[in-house]
A and B are shown apart, each in its own frame.
Chain A
Amino acid sequence: MTNRDPATSPIDAKAQVRRAVASLEGKAPNEESTTSDLSIDEELNLHSIGWEPVELVSGVSLFSTPVGLWNWGEGEIASASEAHAQAFKFATKRIHKEAADAGGHGVVGVEVERRVFSTHIEVTLLGTAVRPVHAPRVEANTVFVSDLSARDFTLLTVAGWRPLGLATGASFVYAPRRTVGAALQQKSQNVELKNYTDAMYSSRESAMERMQRDALELKGTGVVGVKVVEGPMSFAAHAVGFAAWGTVVRLAGEAHHSVRPTMVVSLNDVEVAFDAQSLR
């Protein structure tokens, strides 16, 4: 590998294309194929810190919930919260196994798709297993799963941190019925519906606490890139749900490496989206 300074040695794009096309006349390489859903930018980012994609990996789980679960009630809908936690746990376990089997040291850019139905909860994880270039396999328990993009993984690594895994927490809570008297009294008023506000706070607190517990179990110091989904269920407006997930991180070395951004002033007009010269 050689480091090229783009400012002093511009690329001869035409010569490069001719060379690439000429190489196709030969036979395909006798190497193990790799698969990835990374864009070329993401792959270049990974290469810049000495990592490479290995395999496209996935994990899925569906957990059923008991009948009558979403009827009116009070407090947390424990079976729904448990179904969400289990579905996330099993999907994570499966993508982790696929990554370890493929020789990956971790999975980046995991796309988290979760669907909550009245009868079951489904979690699908899809990402690319990665490793340091040509690195041998590692113990399965050191393989991490992260929903950080390859770009964010690069930045995190440069800053001296490492991802440890996914943490998640979810909670579903009934918004208790108002009394008939309260509902009639509030009908013509601008008034906060405390039952919903309280339900949101309650589900938020339980979900965040569970995510934090996951992070501590993975021996992390924090969770970055936390995503939050909250609101009433489409099939049960009297119940609210809150789910959060993100990547658990810990310092890889002694201290954080300060990454100071450089200030840049672009001389391009914002309207000019294309500049052929920049490709040279």
Chain B
Amino acid sequence: MGESPPDLPEAAERRLASGAFSSGLSVSDFGACLEMGLEPVGLVQGFCAMHQGNYAMGAGLSRSLSPYGGAGGGYVQNYQCPHGFISNEHRAWGQNYEQTWVQDAWSHGFTSAYQRMLEEATTLGAHGVVGVIDTETPLGDVGVTEFHVRGTAVKVLDTPAPTSSPWNTYLAGQRLAKVFEAGYAPVSIVASVSSVRVWAYCVTEYLMEGFAGSMWTNATNASSAVEIDQIVTAQAWSRQRVRSAARAQLHGDALHGADLRLVEREFEKGDLEIQAVLRGNRIRRFKEFDALPVPQPTVRLS
């Protein structure tokens, strides 16, 4: 056991020092780890319950209602009504803006839980953490999310004690074995988030209500379909941002097995919150790839 990390509860330190190992691996993944010379030493976990502040810089209750109010230094794009029409019911302007405080809250919650998991692994003297699983669950209170990151800490047999933070990966078992065989070393998990709020202006609102052929939607041909530019731009930006944020964590390594998911929450027609999350494994090449023979198709007789 090394020095106590700052976030590790005293009870956890006692439990981890007790001697018996625990593992979140399936039996097959456990067997595969032993074959690779990875000895499970403990199921390590990190938690963080994160509240998203509505008064944070740029957040809903602190930002101006002006269309030019900005969004805490993030991406902003304004849309002006082309009809020259003013009324309470007509949305004269719209905006796509990056919800930097949502991203910051997510990153803070995820990173804290992740670091706490690594602290437990470090306490156990582990070289790495395999089979990482992360979840985010809304708690009862509005705007509170529980981040939970867990995995199995492992020691590499016949290797000196680790001198740096444990490497970690979402993979375990045979898939991890194949990563090593392909000439890659797992470095860390990578996760990034982007959040965009879309305030529809009149054209977007009408298009989302299905008025593509009307005089209000700038249709050049009343019977033709019209692209909903504001939503397309927001979605494309969201995916682009989450990829750039992940890339910034790679430092020349590769991101492998990425999983990019986009979730939309619609409040009114065209009024959306778009959140994209990207997860994957950062891996580093440690040897030239031994090319496999070109695979041969087989027919299995049973």
Contact = CB atoms under 8 A, between A and B. Distances in A.
Interface string B198-232: 00000000011111111001000011111110011
B178 A61 contact: no
B179 interface: yes
B239 interface: yes
B32 A40 contact: no
Interface string A247-280: 0000000000001111111100010011010011
Contacts of A34: 254-255
A179 B103 CA distance: 57
Nearest to A113: B262
Interface stretch (B11-19, B42-50, B105-113, B153-161): B153-161
Given A1-B289, A262-B296, A64 B239 contact: no
Contacts of B284: 23-24, 28-29
Nearest to A91: B232
Contact of B236 (A25, A38, A60): A60
Given A19-B286, A40-B178, A158-B294, A266 B300 contact: yes
Contacts of A37: 257-260, 280
B32 A17 contact: no
A21 B178 contact: no
B285 interface: yes
Contacts of A43: 182, 256
Given A17-B156, A66-B212, A262 B291 contact: no
Contacts of A13: 35-37, 177, 180-181
Given A61-B227, A66-B214, A262-B297, 8 more contacts: A16-B180, A18-B158, A21-B167, A24-B185, A40-B257, A119-B208, A120-B212, A261-B298
Contacts of A53: 254
Contact of A65 (B158, B182, B225): B225
B148 interface: no
Interface string B246-259: 11001111111111
A183 interface: no
Interface stretch (A78-86, A189-197, A206-214, A217-225): A78-86
A118 B212 CA distance: 12
Contacts of A45: 295
Contact of A79 (B156, B186, B212, B294): B212
Interface string B275-302: 0000010001111111111111111111
A3 B291 contact: yes
A4 interface: yes
A11 B181 contact: yes
A48 B210 contact: no
Given A25-B164, A37-B257, A62 B295 contact: no
Interface of B: 27-28, 31-32, 34-38, 127-128, 156-159, 163-164, 167, 171, 174-175, 177-182, 184-187, 207-214, 217, 222-228, 231-232, 235-236, 239, 243, 246-247, 250-260, 262, 269, 280, 284-302
Task: Return the 4 tightest CB-CB contacts between A and B, nearest first.
Answer: A119-B210, A83-B225, A14-B37, A66-B213
A30 B36 contact: no
A49 interface: yes
Interface of A: 1-5, 11, 13-14, 16-25, 28-41, 43-45, 47-50, 53, 56, 58-69, 78-80, 82-83, 86-87, 90, 94, 118-121, 124, 126, 151, 154-155, 158, 259-266, 270, 273-274, 276, 279-280
B182 A49 contact: no
27 contacts: A2-B290, A3-B292, A3-B293, A14-B37, A16-B180, A19-B286, A20-B184, A23-B286, A24-B167, A33-B251, A33-B252, A39-B175, A47-B292, A64-B210, A65-B210, A65-B225, A66-B210, A66-B213, A67-B210, A78-B223, A79-B213, A120-B210, A262-B299, A266-B300, A276-B34, A279-B35, A280-B35
A44 B292 contact: yes
B295 A154 contact: yes
B217 to A, nearest CB: 7
Contact of A18 (B35, B37, B222): B37
Contacts of A16: 36, 180-181
A58 B239 contact: yes
A213 B293 CA distance: 38
Contact of A62 (B177, B211, B217, B227): B227
B285 A29 contact: yes
- Which of A47, A56, A90 is the most central at the interface, judged by chain B CB atoms within 10 Å of its CB? A56
A3 B289 CA distance: 10
Contact of A64 (B184, B211, B259): B211
B286 A20 contact: yes
A274 B31 contact: yes
Contact of B226 (A4, A63, A262): A63
Nearest to B287: A19
A65 B37 CA distance: 59
A162 to B, nearest CB: 16
B292 A79 contact: no
A35 B248 CA distance: 11
Given A24-B167, A56-B258, A62-B227, A48 B207 contact: no
